[in-house]
């Protein structure tokens, strides 16, 4: 099968897998924003109330798009009632709190990023490093926060 190089929407929005749900919840609970550099503005602060809103939204999310790069399991998320035709470009890639930096963590072979707006997580990304290829997210126990 030819390797896809662009993001591809699933045939229809699909539910998150158990692993995707577990990683998403772990990221919401424990991930932090990257430290700012001298060139960056002060990052937004994610509050416990914000994390609770995101946790509460997880049960109503579906996967609307998967990355077609062939090396990562990155997914675009949307509430089920907004899922029809939502792409990463349409959803945007907001950082935590609708701006600023994404929440970050790492695992052997890559970096995890959670992009969210004020209401809901929008993208869960696993960016492989050193040429790694991954077809699913690492187990939460292997994620370093």
Burial 12-26 (b: 16+ CB within 10 A, else e): ebeebeeebebbbeb
Kindly state the average pLDDT of the residues 75-103: 70
Domain boundaries of the chain, sorted by first residue: 14-34+43-144
Single pTM value for the model: 0.81
The pLDDT score that the predictor gives to residue 101 is: 75
107 contacts: CB under 8 Å, gap ≥ 6? 126, 138, 142, 143, 144
Kindly state the average pLDDT of the residues 75-99: 69
Percentage of the chain lying above the pLDDT 70 cut: 73
The answer to whether residues 20 and 67 touch, using CB atoms and an 8 Å cutoff, is no
Query: Of 131, 144, 137, which is closest to residue 67 (Cα–Cα)?
Result: 137
Q: Which two tokens stand for residue 98?
A: 């609708």
The answer to whether residues 87 and 75 touch, using CB atoms and an 8 Å cutoff, is no
CA distances from 32 to 18, 130, 133 (A): 23, 23, 25
**Residue 90 pLDDT > 60:** no
Question: In the structure, what pLDDT confidence band is assigned to residue 5 with cuts at 50, 70 and 90?
Answer: very low
């Amino acid at each position: 099968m030819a390797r896809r190089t662009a993001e591809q929407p699933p045939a229809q929005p699909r539910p998150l897998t158990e692993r995707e749900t577990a990683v998403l919840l772990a990221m919401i609970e424990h991930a932090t924003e990257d430290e700012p550099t001298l060139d960056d503005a002060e990052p937004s602060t994610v509050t416990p109330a914000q994390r609770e809103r995101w946790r509460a939204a997880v049960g109503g999310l579906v996967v609307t798009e998967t990355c077609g790069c062939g090396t990562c399991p990155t997914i675009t998320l949307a509430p089920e009632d907004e899922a029809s035709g939502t792409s990463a470009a349409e959803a945007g890639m907001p950082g935590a709190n609708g701006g600023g930096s994404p929440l970050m963590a790492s695992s052997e072979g890559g970096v995890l990023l959670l992009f969210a707006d004020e209401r809901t997580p929008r993208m869960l990304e696993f960016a492989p490093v050193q040429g790694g290829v991954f077809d699913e997210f690492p187990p939460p126990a292997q994620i370093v926060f």
